[in-house]
């Protein structure tokens, strides 16, 4: 079975070659999208992709891999699968996430600082938000609406503080 194995059909790609990059080497990835034309550093590994049904949206720009597909998107069932053939820095992932959100049907539950994660769950008709601070410092978020802080057992609205490496569970 060719790489990426069982994901190949969903992603619409096969991996022709791959390389693990030494720590002192990197490559560059250039996006070719209407609202994303930036170049980013690629490191750790590089998959050379053969798009079967996927569409190439970014290419490697250095060395042997220059002009080879690095990032693809493929229509699958009722959605789309984005395949990243390399690892990048935070700026790379921020750009990819921004593009995915722009594609539609992905939305943010609330605006948060970097390092703060929000997930949503429903229990019957009850909405519960889990706000996780993955950073080593206190973070502040602005709530839209009124909630109940389930751990502190008190109302929560407006600006709230999340201690370092902590969680707030909001009902509302």
Residue 32, SS3 per DSSP: coil
Specify the pLDDT at position 124: 86
Tens-place pLDDT, residues 113-170: 999 999 999 988 899 999 999 999 999 999 999 999 999 999 999 999 999 999 999 9
Q: How confident is the model at residue 23 (pLDDT cuts 50, 70, 90)?
A: very high
All CATH 2.60.40.1180 domain ranges of the chain, comma separated, are 116-171
pLDDT value of position 48: 92
Unique residue bearing structure tokens 């009124």: 146
Query: In degrees, to the nearest 5, what angle opens at C-alpha 103 toward C-alphas 83 and 129?
Result: 90
pLDDT in tens, 78-111: 889 999 999 999 999 999 998 998 887 677 789 9
Give the pLDDT confidence score for residue 13 in this predicted structure.
97
Residues of the chain with CATH 3.40.50.880: 5-103
Q: How far is C-alpha 29 from the geometric centre of its chain's CA atoms?
A: 16
- pLDDT of 152 reads 95
In Å, how far are 45, 67, 166 from 28, measured between CA atoms?
A: 12, 10, 36
Q: Which CATH architecture has domain 116-171?
A: Sandwich (2.60)
Question: Which pLDDT score, from 0 to 100, does residue 107 have?
Answer: 74
Q: Assign domain 5-103 to a CATH class.
A: alpha beta
């Amino acid at each position: 079975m060719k790489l990426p194995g069982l994901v190949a059909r969903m992603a619409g790609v096969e991996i022709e070659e791959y390389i693990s990059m030494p720590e002192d080497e990197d490559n560059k990835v250039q996006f070719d999208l209407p609202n994303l034309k930036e170049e980013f550093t690629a490191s750790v590994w590089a998959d050379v992709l053969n798009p079967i049904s996927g569409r190439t949206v970014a290419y490697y720009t250095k060395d042997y891999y220059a002009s080879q597909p690095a990032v693809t998107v493929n229509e699958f069932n009722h959605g789309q699968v984005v395949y990243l053939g390399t690892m990048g820095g935070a700026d790379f992932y921020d750009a990819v996430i921004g593009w995915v959100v722009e594609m539609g049907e992905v939305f943010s539950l609330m605006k948060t600082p970097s390092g703060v994660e929000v997930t949503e769950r429903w229990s019957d008709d009850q909405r519960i938000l889990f706000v996780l601070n993955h950073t080593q410092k206190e973070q502040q978020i602005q709530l839209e609406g009124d909630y109940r802080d389930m751990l502190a057992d008190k109302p929560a609205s407006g600006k709230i503080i999340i201690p370092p490496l902590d969680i707030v569970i909001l009902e509302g």
